[in-house]
Amino acid sequence: MVAIVLLVTTSGGPGWLAGLLGAAITAPHLAGPFIARPLDTARDGRTVIAVACLVHGVTLAAAVLLYPYAWPLVTAVLLAASGLVGPLLTGGISSRLPGIAGPDRRSQRRAQGWDVATYGIAGTVGPSVVAAVAAWASPTVAALVLAVAVIAAAGLIRLLPYAPPAATRAQAPHPARTLGLMLSTGPLRRTLYLTMSVALSVQVLPVVAVASTGTLGVGAAAAGVLTAAYGVGGLAASMLIMLRPLPGDADRAMTILAVTVAAALTLVAVTTTFGAAVAAYAVTGVLNSYFFAATLAARSEYAPATARGQVFVWIGALKISAGSAGTALAGTLIGAGAHLPLLLAVTATTIAAAVSLADRSAQRPRFWFQS
């Protein structure tokens, strides 16, 4: 998205067009679950992901190359096609962790720590590469670098271990039925709404970081230090998870970790010095990575084998949508004060954790009624 926005703005395009084309590559993620069924039914799921890489890269390259010459609608359609397969690249790869790490739960959770790290590295390195290449050459070249990278990834996907299909087309549920299955299965239902609430909450931080620099007595550029502290904390946590995987029940861990994320966001809200704010952002990054690892474990361990790929993509797509809503909400409310988005974020995550606790308690067997 950074590359697309830079492409439009540096060529003299209006801000509304930059926002529209940026949204064109992210909004279609919500439709990803409706094309995710082949992840569970294809003879070789690696082929599905590799084809998605090729589609993503080719349509992104075509969009940026045609932008100066074609109607903006053509660019938007190409970017939408690129974004549509995005969930297959994220949730699709994550859904293959059991086949890579083996059946041992500890090994799988160690692999999930590495998976969390890859998200953090990509989220940090990607925009940095775009900014550097755009400054050295142009935003078009920066976007083409990304396109070439994901096309190369299509070949690397083939190096992952082969895993037989989890289900036949008759056995694998359709997308709507998969969503219904998730909503009716306690651990998956809790994974869904906890993931969405935490994603919404932590995505207010980049906006809050920019708005809070004045009250912290530092320049606007220091917002980058705050967001970097959040990223470094997340990466450090993912390394710790690889060394010491999360123990115990993932369902219970998600609720506990959601509460700790809410507490960390409260800490961000009450800090009044820049040093304390850097520490609070780093702690939030640490706890969010632990929470993310717990959600990956829950998706892997509670999803039925016949729909595991779809479950990963469903939750990933809704997580991205919730995160985008959090950023939009923060941008809308930040004018009323930097603490307001944080207050709503803490409230949303706390409520979700409380609902999760009540939800799990309601499903617990009432043995004391037995004679």
Higher pLDDT, 286 or 222: 286
Based on the structure, what is the number of domains in the chain? 1
Residue 228 to residue 120: CA distance in whole angstroms = 11
pLDDT higher than threshold 80 for residue 309: yes
Position 370 pLDDT exceeds 50: no
Most confident of 98-107, 122-131, 250-259: 250-259
What is the per-residue pLDDT for 245? 87
Residue 370, domain member (yes or no) = no
Write out the residue range of the structural domain in which residue 107 sits: 2-363
Q: What is the average pLDDT score of the chain? A: 88
CATH classification of the domain holding 98: 1.20.1250.20
Closest by Cα among 361, 363, 327, 370 to 345: 327
For the segment 26-72, what is each residue's pLDDT rounded down to a tens digit? Answer: 888 888 888 888 888 888 989 999 999 999 999 999 999 999 999 99
Measured CA to CA, the distance from residue 346 to residue 351 in angstroms comes to 8
**67 lies in some domain:** yes
| pLDDT at res. 126 | 82
Max mean pLDDT among 12-16, 143-147, 329-333 falls in 143-147
Q: Taking the model in full, what pTM does it have?
A: 0.85
pLDDT at 197: 96
- Cβ atoms 116, 241 nearer than 8 A: yes
What is the per-residue pLDDT for 35? 87
Sign of the torsion formed by the C-alpha atoms of 148, 80, 326 and 189: negative
- Kindly state the average pLDDT of the residues 277-299: 94
Residue 371 confidence (pLDDT) above 80: no
In the DSSP assignment, the letter for residue 161 is P
Summarised one tens digit per residue, pLDDT across range 87-107 is 888 888 888 888 888 878 888
pLDDT at residue 152 is higher than 90: yes
Judge whether 39 lies within some domain: yes
Is residue 368 one of the residues assigned to a domain? no
**Longest Cα–Cα distance in the chain:** 78
Residue 128 belongs to some domain of the structure: yes
How far is the C-alpha of 114 from the C-alpha of 122, rounded, in Å? 12
At 114, list the tokens: 């590495």
pLDDT over 60 (residue 156):
yes
The DSSP symbol for 367 reads G
Using CA atoms, how far apart are residues 218 and 216, in angstroms rounded to an integer?
Answer: 6
Output the six-digit token pair for 34.
């409706």
Q: Is the pLDDT of residue 252 over 50?
A: yes
What is the DSSP secondary-structure string of 35-84?
Answer: G-THHHHSS-HHHHHHHHHHHHHHHHHHHHHHTTTS-HHHHHHHHHHHHH
Residue 201's alpha-carbon distances to 97, 111, 132, 230, in angstroms, are 27, 26, 29, 13
